[in-house]
Amino acid sequence: MASKNRKPPRVGDQPGFRRALIAAVLVVTAIFIVAPLVVIGVQAFSQGWAVYATAIADPDTLHAILLTVTTALIAVPINTAFGVAAAWAITKFDFWGRRFLLVVIEIPFSISPIVAGVAYLFVYGLQGLFGPALQSADIKILFALPGIVLASMFVTAPFVARELIPLMQAQGRDLEEAATSLGASGWRTFFSVTLPNIRWALLYGVVLCNARVMGEFGAVSVVSGNIRGQTNTLPLHIELLYHDYQTAGAFAAASILAVLAVVTLVAKVLLERRGAGRGGRPTLAANQTVPETTT
Amino acid sequence: MARRVLPGLPLALGITLVYVSIIVVLPLSALVYKAASLGFEDYWRIVSSGRALASYRVTALSALAATAFNLVFGFALAWVLVRYRFPGRRFIDALVDLPFALPTAVAGIALTALFAPNGWFGSILGEAGITVAYTPLGIMIAMAFTSLPFIVRTIQPVLEDLDPALEEAAQSLGGSDASIFARVILPLLTPAILAGVSLAFARSLGEFGAIIFIAGNQPFSTEITALLAFIRLEEYDYQAAAAIASVLLITAFLMLAVTNILQARALRYTARG
């Protein structure tokens, strides 16, 4: 300490400035981030436990929870398989158009969920590309579970891939090449060599993907048709209750998703301690994740 | 050159291409096709209508204000998290991601409850004569909430990697804190700040769920563009919905290009330093 004291403090380290800045940031954080979380709990329980329990046990709310969980159970595993496949193809091989493919995978990040929903309408809706054919075949995609799943898969398409790609890029191909040259099959190589190295990043991507699928509002709102007790996911059900002036019910339903958000944050912190999530900075495109390989 | 010793390229690339084609490319192409089939005159009439123009204005201005707010608050937050040690720092660090984790509809009703005239903050602000809920200010707050992590998480890692030797050199040459900050630290952070700003701005332009609860949604004053597209859809005016959605899509692609250029520059900068 004594030797350090001879140096001037770092920029911005004067005690007065430091304390003032920390205090200011804490106050704004409390107003801006903590208060929204707290108000959900307060509003949900504003009329007591009994009302809360009744609101949660309402058949429409239970159905919305079921639909949200079902959507996640379908969309997240498919998305995960896609993310792993995309990361394997992009990081373990060189092929023409690789960088372009990366940008395309990340496109959903930059697109408004409403645009995504409208776009799906023009594929599967009656006024869309396949709508008339689907109707004559009596296949229901829009305003039903398949549409909700598809829209959820659109908005979360980059989630798993973007966690894996920077990591697998950094890890290189040597281990896999060694395994296959020793006679291991492709699947064996993946499960015994690659997967143990990427498991935390994979789980990290899955956790974030799941949170987004369960919370998606805009895109799902367009394609679901908002049929109460049928195609209302939990976020849509919250909107419906809220506009019905059932505030306690809306906040009770919202509290479930708020708990999910908190659990997601805790999982995120725990996984980051294991080294996941370090590769990816917030991004609209994957430009920086794969440096141009020089041949 | 590339030795293709590893197996699985056809399968992995096949899955990737099929998924990307069906999930991402097909719907966006369908939207572009639908908007393009309108013909230039109809398209122009819809996207330049008074109500649409008003929606672009309120969306863009609110997004600008939200980004400006986040630039100041987000930068201060990143600075405090990186440079200072205080009790609760890790907790705050984890909380920064709440806007990513909290579903937008939940954020929307929570912010409305806080800022409504009878809410915790709304009642205080109301006495000062400031109305937040159901005004563009409400839109700004919702946008600022959802886009905050973009700014913090782009600046934070660069601030962490900043070489203390640069500051020490400037200090030994007699620079004041203010001048070191302005002439040494800020220039090094500028690429990251710009990248974060463009990400936050792009996110704000497309935000929907958090905004519609707090915005009031009055045409010509508090109606954002994404909502206008949604309303046209509910009116079964599919052509107008396609045209307005295509404006959002084009804007998103422009922002994507800008962000890419900024991030590529930011990376070159950090790679050199």
Find, in chain B, the residue whose alpha carbon is nearest to that of A82. B16
| Inter-chain CB proximity B264 and A25 less than 8 Å | no
**Chain A residues near residue B169 by CB distance under 8 angstroms:** none
A1 falls in which pLDDT band (50, 70, 90)?
Answer: very low
Residue A7 confidence (pLDDT): 63
Phi, psi of A250 (to 5 degrees): -60, -45
| Residue B272 buriedness (CB in 10 A; 0-12 / 13-18 / 19+) | exposed
Contact list, A154 vs chain B (CB under 8 Å):
23-24, 27
Option in B106, B208, B255 nearest A110 (CB): B255
* Cβ neighbours around A192 below 10 Å, total: 11
Query: Would the CA dihedral through A107, A110, A112, A115 be positive or negative?
Result: negative
CB-CB: which of A28, A242, A282 is closest to B154? A282
Output DSSP code: residue A190: I
- Which chain A residue lies closest to B73 (C-alpha atoms)? A25
Contact state of A217 with B13 under an 8 Å Cβ cutoff: no
Q: Is the pLDDT of residue A283 over 90?
A: no
Among partner residues A32, A176, A242, which is closest to B213 by beta-carbon distance? A242
pLDDT digits (tens, 9 = 90+) for A16-35: 999 999 999 999 999 999 99
Q: What is the dihedral of CA A276, B204, B247, A217, to 10 degrees?
A: 70
Q: How high is the pLDDT of residue B4?
A: 55
Contacts of B145 in chain A (CB under 8 A): 32-33, 36
* Full pLDDT tens readout for chain B, 273 residues: 445 578 889 999 999 999 999 999 999 999 999 999 999 999 999 999 999 999 999 999 999 999 999 999 999 999 999 999 999 999 999 999 999 999 999 999 999 999 999 999 999 999 999 999 999 999 999 999 999 999 999 999 999 988 889 888 998 898 888 999 999 999 999 988 998 999 999 999 999 999 999 998 999 999 999 999 999 998 999 999 999 999 999 999 999 898 888 877 766 665 544
Whole-number pLDDT of residue A279: 54
Q: Collapsing DSSP states into helix, strand and coil, what is residue A29? A: helix
Mean pLDDT of all residues belonging to chain A: 88
The CA distance from A2 to the nearest CA of chain B, in Å, is 18
Nearest CB partner across the interface for B103, out of A31, A257, A269: A257
The reported pLDDT for the residue numbered B94 is 94
pLDDT for A46-69, tens place per residue? 988 999 999 999 999 999 999 999
CB atoms B145 and A32 under 8 Å: yes
Q: Where are the domains of chain A?
A: 1-44, 48-273
- Cβ–Cβ below 8 Å for B77 and A29: yes
Least confident of A259-263, A284-288, B13-17, B131-135: A284-288
Percent of all residues in chain A with a pLDDT value above 70, rounded to a whole number: 91
pLDDT at residue A285 tops 60: no
| B95 to A26: CB separation less than 8 angstroms, yes or no | no
Tell me if B5 and A177 make a contact (CB, 8 A cut-off). yes
Helix axes B104-115, A195-215, angle to 10 degrees: 50
pLDDT for A174 beyond 80: yes
Tell me what percent of the residues of chain A surpass a pLDDT of 90: 70
Would the CB atoms of B256 and A110 count as touching at under 8 Å? yes
Subunit contact A113:B20, Cβ cutoff 8 A: no
Q: Which residues contact B131 (CB under 8 A, 6 or more apart)?
A: B117, B122, B125, B137
On chain A, the residues whose CB falls within 8 A of the CB of B8 are 88-89, 92, 186, 190
The CATH architecture assigned to A48-273 reads Orthogonal Bundle (1.10)
Tell me: pLDDT of A135 over 50. yes
pLDDT given at position A286: 39
CB contact under 8 A, A284 and B259: yes
Tens digit of pLDDT for each residue in A84-101?
999 999 999 999 999 899
pLDDT digits (tens, 9 = 90+) for A149-166: 999 999 999 999 999 999
Class of domain B45-272: mainly alpha
Q: Is the pLDDT of residue A176 over 50?
A: yes
pLDDT (average), residues A105-116:
93
Judging contacts by C-beta atoms under 8 Å, the chain A residues touching residue B2 are 93-94, 295
Does B25 sit within 8 Å of A104, measured CB to CB?
A: yes
Smallest CA–CA separation between A242 and chain B, in Å? Answer: 8
- Interatomic CA distance for residues B126 and B135, integer angstroms: 13
